[in-house]
Amino acid sequence: MYIKGIDHIGIAVKNLEEAQKLYTEGLGLDLEGIETVESQKVKVAFIPVGESRIELLESTAPDGNIAKFIEAKGEGIHHLALKVDNLEKALEELTAKGYQLIDKAPRVGAGGHKIAFVHPKSTKGVLLELSESH
């Protein structure tokens, strides 16, 4: 498996507009855009930082994963996403090595990227996302 770098760090927030002000007004970073991913019940703000991004994640539904995360743990870092060159192969390799996957097959995430998550039980408590851009 070839990891190309950190794609993004996902941060769960209650209010996307308020949260992005820290990064744009406070730190002087640019907002690249906002996208709603209906299938994941989330609205995402993209903030580039060098070769990576910060993704602010606001739930669009009370039963969404981000809403549940915030209810259980509060706002904060939700996941770490790594860029991979071949997501299907990466999932095969992780399965063969005994890692527990949340997604056994890629799905479409924000920005149209192919994504899959590795369960935190397999990664010392870190929700790990693998992302392949098109």
The confidence score (pLDDT) of residue 1 equals 67
Residue 29: both structure tokens together: 């970073």
Q: Note the pLDDT tens digit of each residue in 55-83.
A: 999 999 999 999 999 999 999 999 999 99
Rounded to two decimals, what is the model's pTM? 0.92
Sheet holding 52-59, edge to edge: 33-37, 42-49, 52-59, 3-12, 76-84, 128-132, 114-118, 107-108
Compute the mean pLDDT over every residue in the chain, rounded to the nearest whole number.
95
Residue ranges per structural domain of the chain: 3-132
Mean of pLDDT values over 75-96: 97
Q: What is the pLDDT of residue 30?
A: 97
The fourth-level CATH superfamily of domain 3-132 is 2,3-Dihydroxybiphenyl 1,2-Dioxygenase, domain 1 (3.10.180.10)
State the average pLDDT over residues 37-56.
96
